[in-house]
Amino acid sequence: MKLLQKTSRIYLLASLAIYFVVGIAFYRMIRSMIYDEVESRLKVEKRDFETYIRIHNTWESNSYFVENKIEVKPANGSFSKKAVFTDTLIHNRYEESLDPFRQLTFYTVINGKPYRVAIRKSMIQSYKLIEAVSAAIIAFLGLLMICMFFFHRRLSGKLWQPFYDSLARIKDFDWTKDEKLKLADSNITEFNELGDVMEKMAFKMQHDYKSLREFTENASHEIQTPLALINARVEQFIQSGDLGKDHTYWIEEIYHASRRMSRLNQGLLLLAKIENQQFTESEEIDLSKFVEKKLGDFEDILSHKQITVQIQSSGSFYKMMSPALADIMIANLLNNAIKHNHVNGLLQIETAPEFLQISNSGNVLKTNPERLFERFKKESSGAESLGLGLAIVKQICDNYDLHISYENIDSMHIIRVRTA
């Protein structure tokens, strides 16, 4: 969810809660004020009634000197002089309905006899007034909330626009190029400070990337050259035939160690280049055809180990990626499947629009298959295995949003590459 949507939603929910509480409080306040007014009028009527009784010492039902209805009934037993306010409903014989009234009940003595007196005032107009005021307030608060919501959204969008502009520039920024990152200017101090920090970080990233690229290029050249020279000289010693048996053994050990160091150097430098995205060229590649074509490079070893190859295709698996990295990924997967296969073993290749799967027969794994994607993690202890092949494949997949999995079912080793 975007920041503006999140803040707008929070503002809307908070406004609804606040307006709901304010509406209820305002309704209760208006209702209380109207009730106070009605009760004060009923108290005035009570005083007028009592004054009338003191003067005339009697009460007649036709004594309508007051605006409200008065009911006087004889009272039996003991009674309290305390006046009580209550709400009541009285039948309206004209409209056949029950109308709300506010009633003041008290006891008094008329001509030496106790009477229960009830003075009632209609609440119909008061309730209509409450409903009208409440409806006006709800409409006003609703209109205010809607206006404030759109005002807040528009204001937030305008205030955060420099942030979104800077975010778009950061997304388009490519640290592999020499172009500097320049973020949008703003009149907000925090955004300017953030922009300064991001520009410094981008400059540092470009500097580090350039330094690492130069290092890998120099290391690749400077280390490989003496290693190649060592290998060449050792081969000359071995072919000279003038060495004794012990000397030949040690020379061969040096030769194998030198070759291993050369391959290790190449593998680590390749990993560094992949991690730093130095392979920038890309095109849409059909990995299904790519793997079938790459099998031709392994014909000799497949024939030597008498490995049966089975290919099953239900569609082409296309991916936009570097051709060089695609070649390295497929070569490593096939090399791994052939190297760890049995003599007279089986190599199965299955392709579909969503995945590429390479399966081979072999010994049952003793370790977790997923750990074989870690650097220098290998199942065999052979000197020829560096433990970098699957790590390189995993890094290539990560760079192109591909998911790779390794599964060992009985004697079959299954590696699947699919879209993430």
Over the stretch 170-182, which tens digit does the pLDDT of each residue have?
888 776 677 788 8
Report the alpha-carbon distance of residue 43 to residue 68 in Å, rounded. Answer: 12
pLDDT of residue 171: 82
Mean pLDDT of 28-55: 86
pLDDT of residue 407: 87
Strands 97-110 and 113-122: antiparallel
SS3 245: helix
Beta-bridge partners for 115: 74, 108
What topology does CATH give the domain 283-419? Heat Shock Protein 90 (3.30.565)
Confidence band for 145, pLDDT divided at 50, 70 and 90:
confident
Mean pLDDT of 143-171: 81
- Can you give the pTM of this predicted structure? 0.49
Nearest-10 crossing angle of helices 124-172, 3-56: 170
At a CB cut-off of 8 Å and minimum separation 6, what does 328 contact? 270, 392, 396
SS3 212: helix
Report which secondary-structure segment, H or E, holds 412: strand 412-419
At a CB cut-off of 8 Å and minimum separation 6, what does 18 contact? none
Secondary structure E strands in 291-410: 308-313, 318-321, 346-352, 355-361, 402-409
pLDDT of residue 67: 46
Report the alpha-carbon distance of residue 22 to residue 15 in Å, rounded. Answer: 10
pLDDT of residue 238: 67
Q: Nearest 5°: CA angle at 209, between 207 and 215? A: 105
Tokens 């995945």 sit at which residue? 355
| Tens digit of each residue's pLDDT (9 = 90 or more) over 383-401 | 455 667 788 888 888 888 8
Confidence band for 66, pLDDT divided at 50, 70 and 90:
very low
Mean pLDDT of 52-62: 76
Report the alpha-carbon distance of residue 173 to residue 194 in Å, rounded. Answer: 16
Report the alpha-carbon distance of residue 106 to residue 48 in Å, rounded. Answer: 14
Enumerate the domain spans of the chain.
3-143, 189-275, 283-419
Report the alpha-carbon distance of residue 103 to residue 89 in Å, rounded. Answer: 10
